[in-house]
Structures are given as structure tokens and as C-alpha cells.
Amino acid sequence: MTSRTEPGARGALRTVAEHALVIGLLVLFLSPLIWLMLTAFKPYEELFVSPPTILPASATLENFSGGWNVGGGRGIGDSLIVSTISTLICLVLGYPAAYALARRFPPHGQLSFTILSLRMLPPIVPVIGFYLLYQELSLFDTYTGLIVIYTFMNLPLVIWLLAEFLRQIPRSYEEAARIDGAPWYRLFLDILLPLSAPGILTAGILAMIFAWNEFLFALVLTGQNVITLPKALASFFLFQQPNWGQLGAIGIVAIGPLLVLSFYMQRALVRSFSAELGGR
């Protein structure tokens, strides 16, 4: 199965071949994205030549400022507002619940599964009900409305992830603190919060990404007042002759922060799936 035991030059050659294969696959695999990035630096006239140029003949940055001005900037602003606030609410509501599930609710399995299953719902199922409710409550096309539904969408996942992390903190720490007579907020601030910081970060990042990328709720539950980035991109794309360069530029700005996080994310995912299924 592995080449690691093979000695000498043949083994080394095989390793090189394996890396070459993986890198080749990777470039092929990411080519649509690489193409998008190259396009973002092409001037307008160069976007509509056939056959297309691979590298921009005269690279330019004007797509970034252009894309920002045609709605990209507005979209980024609205997305930041909505995703940050909903993530914070998720953490504030989710942390105590996760703690209760991890520590004080012995038959927690069923309850956390029920909570998590809410996350599994395809957005199209609840969206009709939300639309009618939002019309009634005048939450349609408001920041509050979108923040509420993103919190609803991400809270189950946040609770589940935080409970997983909190369960890994030994109970004896808290018991020791309790015997010392420390008040609950000291216990929380001095012990639980620092020890669960990586969990909070993971859950927060995930919730943020989901809210940042979400499209259907934004499409259906908002109008002209709130225009998140995916919605801005979609309308920009569909209702005018697409300026691919500007789309590419906004796209890069939209996904840039996520690319930085992907290394961190795959680690967190591998760890949580190993823990969940590996029986530890």
C-alpha cells in the first residue's frame, strides 16, 4: 500500500512521481478558479476575444475599483454586517447551551441530534414560511430579518461543535474550581473560555462562512435595502452584459479570506470527523 518502506532511488523517484501527479491533478482541478483570477486582471477589451488569451496581455487593476463601485463594495459591507452579527449571536446563545449539553445533560445524544437535524433542512423548505412570517412582522428586507434567519441556520451547528469541544475539557478542572469556591463567572473566564477558544474560533469561522456564502435566503427575504455579496454578484451577473473582469475581481475579494482559512478548516474537519467516528 505504501511506498515508504521501499529503499533508495526507486522510492525517491516514486515519491517525486506521486507529488507530480497530485500537483498536476490539483492544477487541473482548480483551473476554473485560476481562470477567474486571471480574468480579473484583464482589461475590458481583452475579455471578449476568441480564442481567449491565457495570461492578461496588459494586466490591470481597474476591475477591482470598477467592481467595488458597481455594487461589490456595498455587497461586501452588507455581508460583513449580517454575517458578523449573526455569528456573534450564535456564539452568545450557543455557548451556554453547548456547555449544558456537554456537562449537565447526560442523555444529550438525542437532544443534540435533534438540534443538529435542523441544520440539515434544505433552505427552500423553511423559506416559504419565513417569507410569509416576515411579511406579517415587517422583517422583510431588513438587516434584522436576515440576521435572525442566519442565526437560526447556524446556531445548531455552533451548539454541536462547541459541545464537542467542551466535552474534551476534563471535568476535574471545573470540580477543582468549584471546591475552591470560585464563582461561576471566574470558572467561565479563567478555565472554560481559554480552553475552548479553538472551538469557539472554529465554530465562529464556520458560521461566518455559511452566512457569507448564503444565497437563497438573501434572494428571497430581501429586496433593495439589504444586498449581500452573493446577491449583488448574482444580479450583477444576470441583469447586464457581464463584465467578467469586474465579476472576477469581486469574486476574488469575496473568496480571498476563505482561501486563507481553508488550511485551518481542513484540519478542524479531519479532527472532528476522526473524533466523531473514530471512537477516540
Partner 1 sequence: MSRAAMPSDAGSARTASPAEIARLKAERRATLVLLAPALAFLAILSVWPFCYLIYASFTSYQLAIPVPVEWVGLGNFQRVLSNPRFWQSLGITAVFALVAVPLQIALGLGLAMLINRLSRGREIYASLFLIPMMLAPIVVGFSWNLFLNPIYGPLNALLRGLGFSPPAWASSPEWALPTVVLVDIWQWTPFVMVVLLAGLRSIPGRVFEAARVDGSNGWQTFRYILLPMMAPYMTVAFVLRFIDSFKVFDVLYILTKGGPGTSTQNLAYYTYDMGFGRFDFGLAGALSIIQLILLIVGTTAILHFARRGDRRQSMQESRL
Query: Among residue numbers 213 through 242, which ones bind partner 1 (CB under 8 A)?
Result: 213, 215-216, 219-220, 229-230, 233-234, 237-238, 242
- Interacting residue with partner 1 among 63, 67, 76, 101 (CB under 8 A): 101
Closest to partner 1 by CB, 70 or 265: 265
Rg for the chain, CA atoms, rounded = 24
> Which residues between 235 and 274 bind partner 1 (CB under 8 A)?
237-238, 242, 244, 247-248, 251, 254-255, 258-259, 261-263, 265-267, 269-271, 273-274
> Which residues between 170 and 199 bind partner 1 (CB under 8 A)?
none
Q: Is 49 in the site for partner 1 (CB under 8 A)?
A: yes
DSSP per-residue letters across 150-216: HHHHHHHHHHHHHHHHHHTS-HHHHHHHHHTT--HHHIIIIIIHHHTHHHHHHHHHHHHHHHHH--H
CB of 69 to partner 1, least distance (A): 19
- Interacting residue with partner 1 among 7, 9, 45, 54 (CB under 8 A): 54
- Interacting residue with partner 1 among 12, 13, 16, 30 (CB under 8 A): 30
DSSP per-residue letters across 203-251: HHHHHHHHHHH--HHHHHH--SS---HHHHHHHHHHSS---HHHHHHHH
3-state secondary structure of 123: coil
- Interacting residue with partner 1 among 152, 169, 173, 188 (CB under 8 A): 152
Which of 169, 168, 87, 38 shows the shortest CA–CA distance to 46? 38
Within a 10 A sphere around the Cβ of 194, how many other Cβ atoms?
9
Rounded to whole angstroms, the Cα distance separating 42 from 36 reads: 10
Closest to partner 1 by CB, 225 or 262: 262
Q: Is 116 in the site for partner 1 (CB under 8 A)?
A: yes
Give the interface size with partner 1 as a residue count (CB under 8 A): 102
State the chain's maximal CA–CA distance in angstroms. 76
Q: Is 125 in the site for partner 1 (CB under 8 A)?
A: yes
